[in-house]
Amino acid sequence: MAITNRANGLCVKLLGEAGGLVDSGAVASSRMIAMTNYAFPPPPVPALQVEGSDALFPVGRIFCVGRNYDSHAREMGQANREPPFFFMKPPNALVPGGGKVAYPPLTADLHHEVELVVAIGEGGGIFGYGVGLDLTRRDLQGAAKKEGKPWDMGKGFDGAAPVSALRPASQVPRVDQGAITLSINGTERQRGDLAEMIWTVPEIIQELGRYMPLAPGDLIFTGTPAGVSALAVGDRLEGFVEGVGTLVVEITTP
Ligand code: MN
């Protein structure tokens, strides 16, 4: 879409009925997107810092892969592995760079899941990588599963997606192996290796792309190794992915 300047602000040219571009001046004002005329200020664009750059990475969608580290499934051979499954968190669940996260409401069983996060850039390529925490209200998720209901309220709450600054892909030598760990108050709780992922990063991107085209700004949480456990107010979490970075989060009072 082309953008034209008008005296009353920015307007976006819209596709005409025949599918071609029409001049914005000929379009009824009700069909124009007047950038200066929202009913209220639009929500801020969630964004991540990029190492070595002043430019922020604007976050569009947050996809997550379900169970993706399973040594048993791997020893059963790749032919028998289940296709990956996906869920989403709303972009405003993002906590850029980590830091303080308030213990969320309606749960008594908040869990940590440390994950490698893949960031999609222009052209659908990999922009960079980060360290993420897929925070989960496990009790709500479990109840939803049991009743065959959606998980969203277990996974998509405010603060549910802390992610570190992104390291550009050109500076990450490999993500097919490398340690992934999480410690709480200095005690290691999760340890795995990226090599244990049932579905590799390229495979995840290919599979997810079958459901919908990926777009610049998309983040993909790629699953967590064993060792998830409950968090308490005051806990200090340190997530680490070898070659990618570190993420520190502190759970604070609601
Ligand atoms: Mn997860």
Q: What is the mean pLDDT of residues 201-221?
A: 97
Q: What is the mean pLDDT of residues 5-27?
A: 40
Give the number of other CB atoms < 10 A from CB of residue 140: 22
Cα of 60 vs centre of ligand 1, distance in Å, is 18
Look at the block and give the residue holding tokens 């990063």. Answer: 201
Cα of 85 vs centre of ligand 1, distance in Å, is 11
Q: What is the mean pLDDT of residues 94-104?
A: 98
Residue 235 has pLDDT above 50, yes or no: yes
Cα of 113 vs centre of ligand 1, distance in Å, is 6
Torsion angle, alpha carbons of 91, 68, 86, 182, to 10 = -20
**Which of 8-17, 30-39, 77-86 is the most confident on average?**
77-86
Cα of 165 vs centre of ligand 1, distance in Å, is 19
pLDDT for res 33: 54
Cα of 6 vs centre of ligand 1, distance in Å, is 46
Instruction: Please enumerate in sequence order all residues whose Cβ is within 8 A of that of 113, keeping only pairs 6 or more positions apart, or say none.
Output: 133, 134, 135, 136, 190, 224, 228
Greater confidence (26 vs 60) lies with: 60
d(CA 182, CA 171) in angstroms, rounded, equals 22
Q: Residue 189 gets which letter from DSSP?
A: E
Residue 60 has pLDDT above 60, yes or no: yes
Angle at 101 between CA 40 and CA 55, to 5 degrees: 60
pLDDT band at 26 (very low <50, low <70, confident <90, very high): very low
Cα of 235 vs centre of ligand 1, distance in Å, is 19
Where are the domains positioned within the chain? 1-42, 47-252
Are the C-beta atoms of 194 and 203 separated by less than 8 Å? no
pLDDT for res 70: 76
- CATH superfamily of the domain spanning 47-252: Fumarylacetoacetase-like, C-terminal domain (3.90.850.10)
Indicate the length of the chain as a whole number: 254
Cα of 224 vs centre of ligand 1, distance in Å, is 5
pLDDT 10s digits, 108-152: 999 999 999 999 999 999 999 999 999 999 999 999 999 999 999
